Chain A
Amino acid sequence: MSQTKLHSEPLLRVVKRAERPAGQAAALRAVAVVLSIVAGGVFLLALGQNPLAVYGTMLSGAFRSAMAIQGTVRYAIPLCISALAVTLAFKMKFWNIGGEGQLIMGAVFASYFALYHANLPHVVLLVIMALAGALGGGLWALIPAVCKVRWGTNETLFTLMLNYIALYIVQYLRDGPWRDPESAGFSKVARFDKNVALDKLFGVHIGWVIALVLTVVIWVYLRRTKQGYEIAVVGESQDTARYAGIPVRRVVLRTMFLSGAVAGLCGMVQVAGQDMTLSIGVAGGVGFTAIIVAWLCQLHPGMIALVSLCFGVMEKGSGVVQSDLGLSADCADVLQGVILFFILASEFFVRYAFVARKKGGAR
């Protein structure tokens, strides 16, 4: 009785689904967060740790005192600013994987003034450094944008590779022209003059205010300005944009410059607020984590600020978990990975659905 079918339909098919209602999507993500915490707990149990104690320590480590909260916020600042930076490019569907390098070049440009013009009046110096940082990051981002517009190069690879070049530039400066003459035999850039230090508000350098201001500015820019609208149209369809008379090339160049400039400003905030020197750890992978944060938040600036803070809690908390419970730092990384995996996986279920094969085979 059985019929042989040439093309059998799989039991389950994956289909892209129409937008889920907002409530449903939010519920899915909440479930993912809960599941990730459970899975992380299983991992901790396997290590012989009490998951509740670990999670508890993580939270208390991030919030147990004013100083702890300040530390948490300090971790969140660069993440938030760089995620906002790449969001500008991502809105245009320009895959800027180079936030890391743009941040570094911003830090380099800003560091020049910190090292060689430290005697300028404090506020003037910081404004110059901020502008220099933005310029450095912006120019670094403009390179792949120009090549893309002119010759159609692949921006993903281009921006990615520029990250490493930026890192090597820092290494060159550290070992060569900017090497601290007082550091016998060791390569490092000198610690900046105190005049360079970004001022503090509530015990944390002012970078957090800059991050919040940028969050609002970028939200307004993307949602409420003509330029923001142009970015969205170019992102959806370049042909439509052209048809509508939008100068696509100019929008691409301008937006990439702004994206790099914001990342570069983040570099300035890091060297003047956090590091007080220029080191090869200045970005430390923030530019890459920022990409995850931006997508996790569906490129929504407000969410980015919030989720960056959550990442700050994880980062700060896991440091305390390491010293209090003796859990190695690598385990903390695995835990973060598990949580990220679940949350990113939930995005799949938000956008796609499984369709079971109907009884009786394919229609």
Chain B
Amino acid sequence: MKKFLSILLAVCLLALCLAGCGASSSGSQAAGGSSAAAGGDATGAGIPADQIKVGVIHIGDPADGSGYSYAHDQGIVGMQQALGLSDDQIIRKNNVADDDAAAIQTALEELVEAGCNIIFATSWGYMDYCEAMAEEYPDIIFSHGTGSKSNGTNFNNYFGRIYQARYLSGVAAGLNTKSNKIGYVAAWGTENGEVTSGCDAFAMGVYSVNPDAEVYVKTTNSWYDPEGEKAAAQALIDLGCDVIGQHCDTPNPQLAAEEAGVYGVGYNSDMAKDAPGAVLTSVVWNWSAYYTTAVQNVIDGTWVAGEKVDNYYGGLAEGFVDITDLSDLCAEGTAEAVEEARAKILSGEWDVFDGEIEGNDGQMHTSEYYLDVNWYFKNVVVK
């Protein structure tokens, strides 16, 4: 009987303290709010360039010298140079795993504490934490990359029309295949709009110059899977593909292409560095285009925390996405065809997902928003 009593006592104690805290929660808000005041006085007009503080959260370490966090940090460095900010105006939090809630929250709070006016969170997994923090600290702009949420006042989303660059790379691929089979290593299947819209744009670029070619897609179900990406590329080459495109993190598909003596199209960084014997061109991001624009907006008072922040979906026109210079491997006439397509997109009269488009299911599709694309273009074959 005694032991039941002791357990009961413990449970009651617990229930009591849970109940007790319900009443006191309103008081704690004030405590949180006062420390936020130190975070910057972003009300009113802009913030002078020599006073602005910029925070960044990286999932990896920019010191790695390549890859995702490096690319973002190069963008930050580009912004810093363009706007003439000093080193101590930029505060970085590195190696913040995007599934470690405590680490993410602490990193965000430390940037708030350090007085940052705008905080760039570069990985998708930070999204919900940014949303919650934005509510708690309305005086600070939380700018979240590659996500889907925003609040219009101090929490925005930035991402790019990478599909425009992929379309151009598809043109290059379509003109350089001899087997009329082009492989594409995709991180995810149709459930992921980012990957699927990119794949479709690539396939449409191929189709625009080579209607007979087919695009064979293989998914790895991971953003980062060195072995799986290589195996997928190899399988596609074995199926007769002689150009290998990709939407995944490592250069392994390009290395497999080079080994097999076929062509490839890289992604994220200039993969001609990794596989000079295979890469026709690479689809790349220029993050500094956004970071510079965003910080400039805060300096100018175009974006004011608590009042207005816009989402950003830059494309070719903003210089936010592009392809690298075509390599010497490309067939004659490739450069002209790519330039023609680029001019068409830059003219603003046409974009890749305009109008009704036929999918490989025989249906016609229209797309309001490219990240919602969940169908494959008609020349795509899932392998």
Contacts and interface: CB of A to CB of B under 8 A. Distances in A.
B117 to A, nearest CB: 16
Given A202-B31, A281-B97, A127 B191 contact: no
Contacts of A276: 101, 128, 132
Given A61-B110, A213-B14, 6 more contacts: A67-B32, A71-B106, A123-B18, A184-B192, A217-B13, A319-B110
Interface string B132-172: 10000000000000001000000000000000000000000
Given A67-B35, A226-B2, A328-B61, A279 B24 contact: no
B107 interface: yes
Interface of A: 61, 64-68, 71, 74-75, 122-123, 126-127, 130-131, 184-186, 188, 191, 198-203, 206, 209-210, 213, 217, 221, 225-227, 254, 265, 274-277, 279-282, 284, 316, 319-320, 322-324, 328-329
Given A67-B109, A203-B32, A319-B107, A225 B6 contact: yes
A322 B94 contact: yes
A277 B107 CA distance: 18
Nearest to B223: A186
10 contacts: A66-B31, A67-B32, A67-B109, A185-B194, A188-B125, A191-B132, A275-B101, A277-B101, A279-B99, A328-B94
A206 B21 contact: yes
Given A202-B28, A280-B99, A281-B101, A65 B14 contact: no
Given A65-B35, A123-B22, A127-B15, A328 B109 contact: no
Interface of B: 2-3, 6, 10-11, 13-15, 17-19, 21-22, 24-25, 28, 31-32, 34-35, 38, 61, 63, 91-95, 97, 99-103, 105-107, 109-110, 112-114, 124-125, 128, 132, 148, 188, 191-195, 371-372
B155 to A, nearest CB: 14
A64 B38 CA distance: 12
Which 3 pairs of residues, A with B, have the shortest CB-CB distance? Answer: A185-B192, A275-B101, A199-B21
Contact of A199 (B11, B22, B125): B22
Given A65-B38, A123-B19, A184-B371, A323 B10 contact: no
A226 B97 CA distance: 45
Q: Binding site of A, secondary structure by majority: helix, strand, loop or mixed?
A: helix
Contacts of A185: 188, 191-195
B62 to A, nearest CB: 11
B14 A130 contact: yes
Contact of A186 (B31, B38, B113, B124): B124
B13 A191 contact: no
Nearest to B148: A184
Contacts of A127: 14-15, 18
B102 A274 contact: yes
Contact of A65 (B21, B28, B106, B113): B113
Given A185-B188, A217-B13, A319-B110, A284 B95 contact: no
Nearest to B149: A182
Contacts of A64: 113
B101 A279 contact: yes
B287 to A, nearest CB: 20
A196 B181 CA distance: 52
B371 A66 contact: no
Contacts of B113: 64-65, 67-68
Nearest to A217: B10
A67 B13 CA distance: 28
A197 B34 CA distance: 21
Contacts of A202: 28, 31
Given A185-B191, A319-B93, A71 B110 contact: yes
B83 to A, nearest CB: 20
A323 B92 contact: yes
B110 A323 contact: yes
Contacts of A130: 14, 18
Given A184-B193, A185-B188, A203 B28 contact: yes
Contact of A203 (B31, B100, B103, B371): B31
Q: Most chain-A Cβ atoms within 10 A of its Cβ — which of B106, B109, B125, B148?
A: B106
Contacts of B10: 217
A319 B55 CA distance: 14
Contact of B11 (A68, A131, A209, A316): A131
Nearest to B188: A185
A159 to B, nearest CB: 23
A53 B343 CA distance: 55
B94 A184 contact: no
B17 A210 contact: yes
Given A127-B14, A323-B110, A329-B94, A209 B192 contact: no
B22 A184 contact: no
Contacts of B128: 191, 276-277
Contacts of B34: 66
A27 B333 CA distance: 81
Contacts of B110: 61, 68, 71, 319-320, 323
Contact of A209 (B21, B92, B99, B195): B21
A52 B230 CA distance: 48
A186 B192 contact: yes
A227 B6 contact: yes
B375 to A, nearest CB: 14
Nearest to B107: A319
A277 B132 CA distance: 12
